[in-house]
């Protein structure tokens, strides 16, 4: 275990700049900025410098400065690089599940990151530029996730933040732990581990404030300090009404953690009013449909979360890649729209909402000046299954170009 506090490691990566990155001027038919105002710019130019978005504007109002490489993407549409809150393919799948203990607070995915594997390259071809790589769900607490970009040759190049989140699975997999466990014990075990981690954090906080002796360093619990300081969330594998209700009550209300609901499937969508009251993020997937047995009909889960809540919930979608291939993240949003998600929410569900859920909205999730130049250029609507991503920029560099590399799919 690296003795460097993980939060500091992540922040160091988060402020990295790319002054040597090339300067681009991208001409395209339309830009979906995914800003808070959901601005759309027609006949647009995107200026990229130093790895960041410099300006987005109409071509008639945005002169291209000298020294910029012009990319003529006539007819193509630009969208921010997609963000997936639930990914397993950015690291070594062989290290996905370690079932030694029901809680594994000392485990982390940062040591498994494999930036150039074929799954990551496929993600680029699908316009996915940022993913949270998390451990599997065979344990109640399977370790810390890592947020990475999908282009780069080394961990240093791709790292956005570590820890990206604490992965908790309250039900729906850990029951298969080797001796078989029930939900009551799993909840006790999760709470007990978190209370011990919080007590460790409070002893360190007291020391730093001059109110107590210096605690002994504990590699199992040190990264939890950022969790209790709300520097990163816990992303919770939680689904089914009762289990999600337990997640809300224990993790969000009782322990006051930054809690992101992940999966959010089956009849959990009936809890929309509860998540609305708490302004919680709800990330749906890989199942985006549900068979409502009471009414004998198939419903769209995103639409149902909106129906049972205030209609303003922060809704995103995920793939749980490789359950759904990472490059098919846009398809998840397309299916959600087909089954009732308002069309104007399709791109934010892939960009703004997951970026905000993970606390990286200051860097990614929209095409606005100052943010990382992560974007995909699509042959049509970026959420239409008939459209293809022909170019993907990551940190201001053209990481995927179907014109020269050949289309992956």
Q: What is the CATH number of the domain that holds 298?
A: 3.20.20.140
Q: Would you say residue 3 lies in a domain?
A: no
Q: Would you say residue 264 lies in a domain?
A: yes
DSSP 109: S
What predicted TM-score, i.e. pTM, was given to this entire model? 0.94
Residues in the chain, how many? 409
Q: Which helix (H) or strand (E) holds 179?
A: none
Question: Distance between terminal CA atoms of the chain?
Answer: 39
Q: Would you say residue 8 lies in a domain?
A: no
The CA angle 386-401-66, to the nearest 5 degrees, is 120
Give me the pLDDT at residue 7, please.
38
Beta-ladder partners of 45: 27, 57
Q: Which helix (H) or strand (E) holds 53?
A: strand 52-58
Rounded-to-integer distance, Cα 80 and Cα 90, Å: 20
Alpha carbon of 60 to those of 31, 56, 169, 407: distances in Å?
15, 12, 51, 32
The 3-state DSSP class for residue 278 equals helix
Q: Would you say residue 72 lies in a domain?
A: no
Q: Would you say residue 282 lies in a domain?
A: yes
- How do the pLDDT tens digits run along the chain, 409 residues long? 333 333 334 443 444 445 577 999 999 999 999 999 999 999 999 999 999 999 999 999 999 999 999 999 999 999 999 999 999 999 877 666 667 788 988 889 999 999 999 999 999 999 999 999 999 988 899 999 999 999 999 999 999 999 999 999 998 888 877 778 889 999 999 999 999 999 999 999 999 999 999 999 999 999 999 999 999 999 999 999 999 999 999 999 999 999 999 999 999 999 999 999 999 999 999 999 999 998 999 999 999 999 999 999 999 999 999 999 999 999 999 999 999 999 999 999 999 999 999 999 999 999 999 999 999 999 999 999 999 999 999 999 999 999 999 999 8
Count of C-beta atoms within a 10 Å radius of residue 99:
14
- For the chain, what is the total number of helices (H) and then of strands (E)? 11, 17
Beta-ladder partners of 57: 45
Q: Would you say residue 185 lies in a domain?
A: yes
Rounded-to-integer distance, Cα 383 and Cα 136, Å: 28
Domains held by the chain: number: 1
CB 114 within 8 A of CB 347: no
Q: Which residue range(s) make up the domain with 120?
A: 82-360
Tokens 């193509």, residue located: 76
DSSP 317: E
Strands (E), 81-140: 82-87, 128-133
Count of C-beta atoms within a 10 Å radius of residue 406:
8
CB 77 within 8 A of CB 391: no
Cα–Cα nearest to 347, from 336, 339, 357, 360? 336
Give me the pLDDT at residue 13, please.
47
Tokens 């690296």, residue located: 2
Tokens 């992101």, residue located: 260
Rounded-to-integer distance, Cα 167 and Cα 110, Å: 13
Beta-ladder partners of 55: 47
Q: Would you say residue 34 lies in a domain?
A: no
Cα–Cα nearest to 133, from 165, 178, 157, 181? 165
Beta-ladder partners of 49: 52
- Residues in contact with 74: Cβ distance below 8 Å, sequence separation at least 6, in sequence order: 27, 28, 29
The 3-state DSSP class for residue 171 equals coil
CB 152 within 8 A of CB 3: no
Q: Would you say residue 55 lies in a domain?
A: no
Give me the pLDDT at residue 105, please.
85
Give me the pLDDT at residue 104, please.
87
Cα–Cα nearest to 76, from 37, 123, 38, 26? 26
């Amino acid at each position: 275990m690296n003795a460097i506090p993980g939060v500091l490691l992540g922040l160091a990566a988060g402020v990295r700049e790319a002054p040597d990155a090339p300067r681009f001027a991208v001409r395209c038919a339309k830009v979906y900025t995914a800003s808070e105002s959901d601005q759309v710019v027609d006949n647009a130019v995107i200026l990229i410098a130093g790895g960041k978005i410099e300006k987005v504007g109409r071509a008639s109002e945005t002169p291209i400065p000298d020294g910029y490489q012009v990319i003529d993407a006539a007819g193509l549409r630009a969208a921010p690089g997609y963000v997936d809150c639930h990914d397993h393919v950015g690291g070594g799948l062989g290290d996905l599940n370690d079932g030694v203990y029901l809680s594994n607070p000392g485990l982390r995915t940062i040591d498994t990151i494999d930036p150039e594997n074929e799954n990551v390259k496929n993600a680029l071809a699908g316009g996915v530029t940022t993913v949270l790589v998390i451990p599997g769900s065979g344990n109640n607490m399977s370790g810390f996730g890592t947020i990475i970009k999908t282009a780069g040759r080394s961990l240093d190049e791709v790292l956005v933040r570590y820890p990206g989140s604490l992965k908790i699975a309250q039900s729906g997999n850990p029951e298969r732990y080797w001796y078989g466990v029930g939900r009551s014990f799993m909840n006790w075990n999760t709470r007990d581990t978190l209370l011990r981690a919080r007590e460790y954090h409070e002893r360190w906080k007291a020391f730093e404030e001059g109110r107590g002796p210096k605690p002994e360093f504990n590699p199992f619990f040190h990264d939890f300090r950022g969790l209790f300081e709300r520097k990163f969330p816990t992303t919770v594998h939680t689904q089914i009404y009762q289990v999600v209700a337990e997640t809300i009550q224990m993790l969000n209300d009782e322990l006051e953690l930054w809690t992101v609901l992940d999966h959010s499937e089956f009849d959990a969508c009936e809890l929309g009013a509860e998540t609305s009251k708490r302004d919680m993020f709800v990330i749906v997937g890989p199942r985006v449909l549900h068979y409502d047995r009471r009414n004998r009909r198939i419903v769209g889960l995103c639409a149902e979360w909106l129906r049972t809540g205030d209609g303003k919930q922060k809704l995103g979608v995920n793939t749980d890649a490789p359950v759904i291939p990472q490059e098919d993240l846009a398809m998840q949003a397309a299916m959600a729209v087909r089954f009732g998600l308002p069309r104007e929410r399709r791109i934010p569900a892939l960009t703004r909402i997951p970026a905000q859920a993970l606390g990286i909205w200051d860097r990614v999730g929209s095409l606005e000046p100052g943010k990382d130049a992560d974007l995909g250029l699509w042959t049509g609507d970026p959420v239409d299954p008939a459209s293809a991503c022909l170019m993907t920029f990551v940190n201001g560099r053209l990481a995927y170009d179907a014109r020269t590399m050949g289309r992956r799919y």
